[in-house]
Every structure is written in structure tokens, then in C-alpha cells.
């Protein structure tokens, strides 16, 4: 099977359809083999002046009936083979998407979205074409070549067949040579298309940044460069195909020339009849398509194999984060969190991001984490969510090592408001109710009120049914943050994690959100990461992380008295607030 080994289960499950399709291909080919013989008989009767009106009508009805049967048979094999290939395309796209969702976050940091989109479009199409048209072009030529040669020998003599088919070995060499060349250039075309798709996707997502920094001209130049590269590679492939197809036809024409001359001589010499000569030429005409089809099928299979190899690279990719073979069947009931001597290094990194982290957050308590950018704050919560796996025996929830719990169990129990407030291109209601699909309108609105975004939503023409743009682009930064907070609140989790989720709101709105969250936070364990001290100073415990280490811990008052990094951050923010007020 080679590259197609990953779809062998599908092929086996749908073998009945493929076999029925092959049957109808062979049946229609058999009908086509009858036509030259009938045509020869017609010519023979005509040359002998034996063709009467009734015989002419007979031949007309016979050709009409054969034509109808050929058309019906072609419809049947197209439905069986092409229909099954379409089903493969459908299932393969589903499989790609489902597999991508299983892969760890680290995979997507190394692979671009546009490249993955090209896999799910161009490559899947090439595989479908190979197992649809490609299959027909394997069965059809082989059967036609073998049976046509038999009929040619039956109709004429061995010498005419031999000399007429002399160009075939040359044809085989040409097919093999060009097949390898086409395969190589097709891979180059697919890679270039992936890069172009990725560039377009990335730049359209960042269109506001491009316009803000007046980079339209630069973007156009880069696109033209990528598109030119894709065009040039397409033209290199097209140039080979432009030579290949006419060359095949030219070699096939040589066979006709030989048959025309040598067969004509045999007719004149009385070695074969005119009817047999016409039938032989008709059979030779039937050979042209299968001979060319051999070249086509090699091209199609080469393309399909190249695309299947690219898809196999995705299918063979294993997630970095997997559940243990027999995970603990325990629900998270209390939300107690503990970090024990946690040291973590990102895959491929040389230095640890976190060093010897020891923390404990009891049920219902709140932990706040502050620190400079890049100090490791977000890494800590990513480990808790098992976006990355911590070392065994270092991170616990309710006394269970999180590596022994199912990922879905952990993530179901956690409400997370990330730094990057990603919203989907659907309604505001659907975005808020993302984690609770069965939520009713009242629950959605209540969550929005607590997050202080309800008043903004109802001002939109369509209210909660307002459709958002890509990544929520139609909302302001503060509105996106508050919708994300509402989404986490509606989930009603045992653990609530807010990663710098109030940075885009003003002080007044921040106070209103924190006031609304007091009841929510009192009933569950919470972790808040922030740069703004005002949003976390009421936490039960505050830790300061610097260069991956806990350098300070305590509550707001004790940390101010300590006079360290926390106190310095607090004084700087107070100064910034005074400057902002005086500036206003």
C-alpha cells in the first residue's frame, strides 16, 4: 500500500463498492470491444453491396442500444468509484480535524495554520482523485490493452499487430521518466501553495496591524513574491505535462501510421479483408486511450502518494500530553491545589522556566501571582491545565497527581480566562455559553452582568445575537476580556483562573467586576495573575515570581511592609495613576 496504508481500513470497509465499480468498468469496456467488430461487419457488407435498408436499420438500432448501455454502465461505475472516493474525502477531512484537536498545544506553535489548511484541502483532493480516477485508470487500461490485443490478433494477423505495436516500448520509457519528474515537481507545487496559504491567512488575521503600521505595500510585495513562486512552480509542472501529453500522442500516432501503411498493403494483397482492416484500426484506436491513461494514472498516483505522505506526517504525529493507561476515576470536588518542588523546562529549552515552586491553595482560597513579563506566571497555570505536562509528583489537585487524572476531568473543573481572549465568529451568546451548551438565556445574561458587559451587549442592534467578527474583532479589547470572563463564570467551575484578564478595562469597570466576582470567588478556589496590583490586593495569598522563582509571598499589607519587588510595583502603579489623573 505504501503511502496509502493509513486508509487501508476505509478501502477494506468499502471494498464492495469498489468491486462493483470495477465490474461496471470492465462491462463497459467489453461493450466497447464489440463495437469495432460490428463496425467491421458493417463495412464488409457495404463493400460487398450486401447492405440493405433493413440491415442498415438493424445496425443503427444495434449501435443505439450499445451506446445506451455504455452510457448507463459509465454512470454506474462513476457512482460506485467516484462516489466512494468522495466519501473518503469526507471522512479524511473529519479524521484530520479530529486528530488535530487531539494534538498538544506545542504542535501548533511549530506548524502554521495555512500549511495545515493546505493539507486539509489540496492534499485531501489529490488523495481522493488518486483513489477515484486513479483506480479507474488502473483497471480500465489494463483490461482494454489485454482484451484489445486479443481482438486484434483475432481480427488480423500477427505481423500487422507486431509492427503496429513497435512504438509501445518507447512509450513505456517515456511514461516512467516523466512520472518521476512530475512527482518531484508536484511536491514543490504543494509546498509553495502551503506557504502562500499560510501567508494570506496570517496577514488577513493581522489586517489591522498591517494598516496601522502602513505596511500594505510591503504586504502586497511579499504576496506577489509568494504568488510568483507558486506560479513559477506551477509553470514548471505544466511545462513537463505540456511536453508529456503531446509526446504520448505522437508515439501513439506512429502506431497508426504503421497500421495505415502496412495494413493497407495487406488489404491490397488480399491478406486481410477491408472489414478486418477497419476493425483492426478501430481496435488500435481503442489502444490510444489506455496507453495514454497509463501515463495519466502514474501522474495521478504520484500526486496522490505525495499528498498522502504529507497527510501521514500529521496522522503519525502523537500528542505530547496523554492520559495514563488507567487514570484515576476521581472528580474534582474541592479544588485544593498544591505545587511541590516544581521545576519545569519547556521541550527543547536549555534552562528551566520555573524553579522549585512550592505553593498550596486550600479549597475556597484565592492565590494571586504577580511578576515581571516572562517570569513564568502563565507557565504555572498552563501546567495546572496540562497544556504541558509537569514532572510527576509536582502538581496536585485534591491530593491527586494531575498526571494521573484525565485531562477532561481537570479542564472541566477549571474556568480559565487567558491573556489572549479568543472569541469565535458566532453570536455573543454562543461565545459566553461555549463551555455550557445547555445554558439558558437568563444564565448567560447573569454571567454577563457579573462580568460588567451586559450593558454593552444590549446596546448592540442585535443584542446577544450579535455576530462577532473573526477572533471577536468587532468588540473592543475590554469587551472581549469581559465576554471571556462571563464565559468562565457561566461554567461554574471549582477552580477559576484569571490570567491578567482585567488589563484592558478602566479602574471603575475593574472595581465593578471585582465587586461582582466577590461572591463567585468566595465559593471556589481561584488563581489570579495580574500586572495591576489593584486587581489582586484582596487575595488570601500573593506570590511574586521573578525569573521562575518565588521571591516574595504574603498578603498585600505584609508585602508592602517587606519593601521588595511587590512594593516597588505598587508604588510605580500609584505614580502612574496620579500622572493619568493629573493628565486628564
Region of 455 please: left (phi>0), alpha (psi -120 to 50) or beta. Answer: alpha
- Rounded to a whole number of angstroms, the distance between the first and last alpha carbons of the chain is 72
User: How many other C-beta atoms are found inside a 10 Å radius of the C-beta of residue 236?
Assistant: 15
Burial 141-152 (b: 16+ CB within 10 A, else e): bbbbbebbeebb
Rounded CA separation 259/4 (Å): 41
72 shares its domain with 111: yes
Q: According to the per-residue pLDDT averaged within each range, which of 207-211, 384-388, 468-472 is highest? A: 384-388
581 pLDDT exceeds 60?
no
476 shares its domain with 522: no
Domain end position, chosen among 442, 470, 492? 492
Q: Give long-range contacts, CB 8 A cutoff, 24+ apart: 165-168.
A: 165/255, 166/254, 166/255, 166/258, 167/251, 167/252, 167/254, 167/255, 167/258, 168/255, 168/291
What's the domain count of the chain?
A: 3
C-alpha grid cell for residue 23?
465490474
Q: Is 304 exposed, middle or buried (0-12, 13-18, 19+ CB in 10 A)?
A: buried
Rounded CA separation 117/202 (Å): 12
291 shares its domain with 421: no
Tens digits of per-residue pLDDT, 1-48? 567 777 888 888 888 988 998 888 888 878 877 777 777 777 777 777
- Is 278 a domain residue? yes
- Is 326 a domain residue? no
pLDDT band at 393 (very low <50, low <70, confident <90, very high): very high
70 shares its domain with 193: yes
Q: Give long-range contacts, CB 8 A cutoff, 24+ apart: 223-231.
A: 223/196, 223/199, 226/192, 226/195, 226/196, 226/199, 227/196, 229/192, 229/195, 229/196, 230/189, 230/192, 230/193, 230/195, 230/196
What distances in angstroms separate CA 570 from CA 532, 565, 577, one per listed residue?
8, 9, 11
- Is 38 a domain residue? yes
CATH of the domain at 104: 1.20.1560.10
- Is 320 a domain residue? no
The residue with cell 522556566 is: 353
Tens digits of per-residue pLDDT, 249-265? 787 777 777 777 777 77
Percentages helix, strand, coil for the chain (3-state, rounded to 5) are: 65, 10, 25
Give the chain's mean pLDDT. Answer: 82
Rounded CA separation 110/97 (Å): 17
Domain end position, chosen among 492, 526, 544? 492
- Is 553 a domain residue? yes
529 pairs with which residues across the strands? 369, 499
Mutual orientation of helices 83-102 and 15-47 as an angle, nearest 10°? Answer: 150
- Is 45 a domain residue? yes
What distances in angstroms separate CA 320 from CA 316, 346, 355, one per listed residue?
12, 12, 22
pLDDT computed for residue 384 by the predictor: 92
What distances in angstroms separate CA 118 from CA 115, 185, 195, one per listed residue?
5, 17, 9
142 shares its domain with 168: yes
Tens digits of per-residue pLDDT, 77-102? 889 988 888 998 898 888 888 888 88
Which of 280-294, 354-368, 540-554 is predicted least confidently? 280-294
217 shares its domain with 231: yes
Domain end position, chosen among 456, 475, 492? 492
Q: According to the per-residue pLDDT averaged within each range, which of 32-46, 217-231, 315-329 is highest? A: 217-231
Domain extent, residue 515, equals 333-413+495-584
Torsions phi, psi for 332 (to 5 deg): -85, 110
Are 397 and 332 contacting, i.e. CB atoms less than 8 angstroms apart? yes
386 shares its domain with 520: yes
541 pLDDT exceeds 90?
yes
pLDDT computed for residue 213 by the predictor: 65
Tens digits of per-residue pLDDT, 344-376? 998 878 889 999 999 999 988 999 999 888 888
pLDDT computed for residue 550 by the predictor: 92
pLDDT band at 228 (very low <50, low <70, confident <90, very high): very high
550 pairs with which residues across the strands? 545
296 shares its domain with 387: no
Mutual orientation of helices 477-490 and 441-450 as an angle, nearest 10°? Answer: 120
pLDDT band at 288 (very low <50, low <70, confident <90, very high): low
Rounded CA separation 91/102 (Å): 17
Rounded CA separation 296/219 (Å): 38
What distances in angstroms separate CA 549 from CA 358, 497, 544, 553, 564, one per listed residue?
10, 20, 8, 11, 14
Are 193 and 230 contacting, i.e. CB atoms less than 8 angstroms apart? yes
Rounded CA separation 340/257 (Å): 86
506 pLDDT exceeds 80?
no
Let me know the angle formed at the C-alpha of 345 by 369 and 322, rounded to the nearest 5 degrees: 95
Tens digits of per-residue pLDDT, 148-191? 777 777 767 777 777 777 777 777 778 778 777 877 887 788 78
Let me know the angle formed at the C-alpha of 225 by 221 and 229, rounded to the nearest 5 degrees: 165
Strands, sheet with 366-370, edge to edge from the N-terminal-most edge strand: 414-417, 495-499, 525-529, 366-370, 541-546, 549-554
pLDDT computed for residue 577 by the predictor: 67
136 pLDDT exceeds 90?
no
| DSSP character at residue 391 | P
CATH of the domain at 459: 3.40.50.300
pLDDT band at 582 (very low <50, low <70, confident <90, very high): low
447 shares its domain with 583: no
51 shares its domain with 141: yes
Are 304 and 151 contacting, i.e. CB atoms less than 8 angstroms apart? no
Torsions phi, psi for 475 (to 5 deg): -105, 155
pLDDT computed for residue 530 by the predictor: 84
C-alpha grid cell for residue 143?
483490461
The residue with cell 460588567 is: 452
- Is 328 a domain residue? no
Torsions phi, psi for 420 (to 5 deg): -90, 100
* Average pLDDT of the segment spanning 323-329: 80
3-state secondary structure of 461: coil
525 pairs with which residues across the strands? 495
- Is 206 a domain residue? yes
pLDDT band at 516 (very low <50, low <70, confident <90, very high): confident
423 shares its domain with 402: no
C-alpha grid cell for residue 324?
495514563
155 shares its domain with 196: yes
3-state SS of 150-173 is: HHHHHHCCHHHHHHHCCCHHHHHH
Torsions phi, psi for 365 (to 5 deg): -85, 165
483 pLDDT exceeds 60?
yes
pLDDT band at 401 (very low <50, low <70, confident <90, very high): very high
pLDDT computed for residue 339 by the predictor: 94
The residue with cell 513537463 is: 240
Mutual orientation of helices 441-450 and 507-522 as an angle, nearest 10°? Answer: 120
Q: What is the DSSP string of 552-570?
A: EEE-HHHHHHHTSHHHHHH
Amino acid at each position: 500500500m505504501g503511502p496509502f496504508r493509513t486508509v487501508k481500513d476505509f478501502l477494506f470497509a468499502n471494498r464492495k463498492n469498489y468491486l462493483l465499480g470495477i465490474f461496471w468498468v470492465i462491462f463497459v469496456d467489453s461493450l466497447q470491444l464489440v463495437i469495432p467488430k460490428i463496425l467491421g461487419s458493417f463495412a464488409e457488407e457495404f463493400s460487398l453491396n450486401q447492405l440493405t435498408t433493413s440491415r442498415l436499420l438493424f445496425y443503427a438500432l444495434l449501435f443505439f442500444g450499445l451506446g445506451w448501455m455504455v452510457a448507463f454502465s459509465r454512470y454506474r461505475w462513476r457512482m460506485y468509484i467516484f462516489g466512494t472516493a468522495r466519501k473518503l474525502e469526507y471522512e479524511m477531512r473529519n479524521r484530520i480535524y479530529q486528530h488535530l484537536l487531539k494534538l498538544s498545544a506545542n504542535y501548533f506553535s511549530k506548524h502554521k495554520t495555512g500549511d495545515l489548511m493546505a493539507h486539509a484541502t489540496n492534499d485531501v483532493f489529490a488523495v481522493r482523485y488518486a483513489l477515484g480516477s486513479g483506480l479507474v485508470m488502473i483497471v480500465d487500461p489494463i483490461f482494454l490493452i489485454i482484451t484489445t490485443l486479443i481482438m486484434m490478433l483475432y481480427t488480423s494477423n500477427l505481423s500487422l499487430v507486431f509492427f503496429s505495436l513497435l512504438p509501445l516500448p518507447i512509450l513505456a520509457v517515456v511514461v516512467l521518466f516523466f512520472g518521476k519528474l512530475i512527482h518531484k515537481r508536484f511536491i514543490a507545487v504543494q509546498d509553495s501553495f502551503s506557504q502562500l496559504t499560510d501567508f494570506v491567512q496570517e496577514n488577513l488575521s493581522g489586517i489591522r496591524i498591517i494598516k496601522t503600521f502602513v505596511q500594505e505595500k510591503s504586504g502586497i510585495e511579499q504576496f506577489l513574491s509568494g504568488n510568483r513562486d507558486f506560479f513559477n512552480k506551477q509553470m514548471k509542472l505544466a511545462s513537463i505535462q505540456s511536453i508529456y501529453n503531446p509526446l504520448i500522442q505522437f508515439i501513439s500516432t506512429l502506431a497508426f501510421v504503421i497500421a495505415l501503411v502496412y495494413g493497407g498493403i495487406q488489404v491490397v494483397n488480399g491478406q486481410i479483408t477491408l472489414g478486418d482492416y477497419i476493425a483492426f484500426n478501430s481496435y488500435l484506436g481503442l489502444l490510444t486511450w489506455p496507453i495514454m491513461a497509463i501515463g495519466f494514472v502514474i501522474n495521478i498516483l504520484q500526486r496522490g502518494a505525495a499528498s498522502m505522505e504529507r497527510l501521514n506526517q500529521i496522522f503519525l504525529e502523537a500528542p505530547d500530553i496523554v492520559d495514563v493507561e488507567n487514570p484515576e476515576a476521581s472528580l474534582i470536588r474541592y479544588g485544593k491545589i498544591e505545587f511541590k518542588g516544581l521545576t519545569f523546562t519547556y521541550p527543547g529549552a536549555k534552562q528551566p522556566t520555573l524553579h522549585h515552586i512550592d505553593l498550596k491553595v486550600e479549597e475556597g482560597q484565592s492565590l494571586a501571582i504577580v511578576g515581571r513579563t516572562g517570569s513564568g506566571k502563565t507557565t504555572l497555570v498552563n501546567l495546572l491545565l496540562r497544556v504541558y505536562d509537569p514532572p510527576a509528583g509536582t502538581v496536585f489537585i485534591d491530593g491527586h497527581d494531575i498526571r494521573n487524572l484525565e485531562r477532561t476531568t481537570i479542564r472541566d473543573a477549571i474556568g480559565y480566562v487567558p491573556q489572549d481572549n479568543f472569541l469565535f465568529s458566532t453570536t455573543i451568546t454562543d461565545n459566553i455559553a461555549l463551555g455550557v451548551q445547555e445554558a439558558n438565556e437568563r444564565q448567560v445574561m447573569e454571567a454577563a452582568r457579573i462580568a460588567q458587559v451586559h450593558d454593552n451587549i444590549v446596546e448592540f442592534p442585535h443584542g446577544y445575537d450579535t455576530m462577532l467578527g473573526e477572533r471577536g474583532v468587532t468588540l473592543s479589547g475590554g469587551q472581549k476580556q469581559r465576554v471571556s470572563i462571563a464565559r468562565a463564570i457561566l461554567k461554574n467551575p471549582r477552580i477559576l483562573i484569571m490570567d491578567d484578564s482585567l488589563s484592558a478595562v478602566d479602574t471603575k469597570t475593574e472595581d465593578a467586576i471585582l465587586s461582582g466576582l466577590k461572591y463567585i470567588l468566595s465559593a471556589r478556589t481561584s488563581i489570579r495573575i495580574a500586572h495591576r496590583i489593584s486587581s489582586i490586593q484582596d487575595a488570601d495569598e500573593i506570590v511574586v515570581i521573578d525569573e521562575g522563582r518565588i521571591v516574595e509571598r504574603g498578603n498585600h499589607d505584609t508585602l508592602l511592609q517587606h519593601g521588595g519587588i511587590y512594593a516597588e510595583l505598587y508604588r510605580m502603579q500609584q505614580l502612574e495613576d496620579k500622572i493619568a489623573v493629573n493628565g486628564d
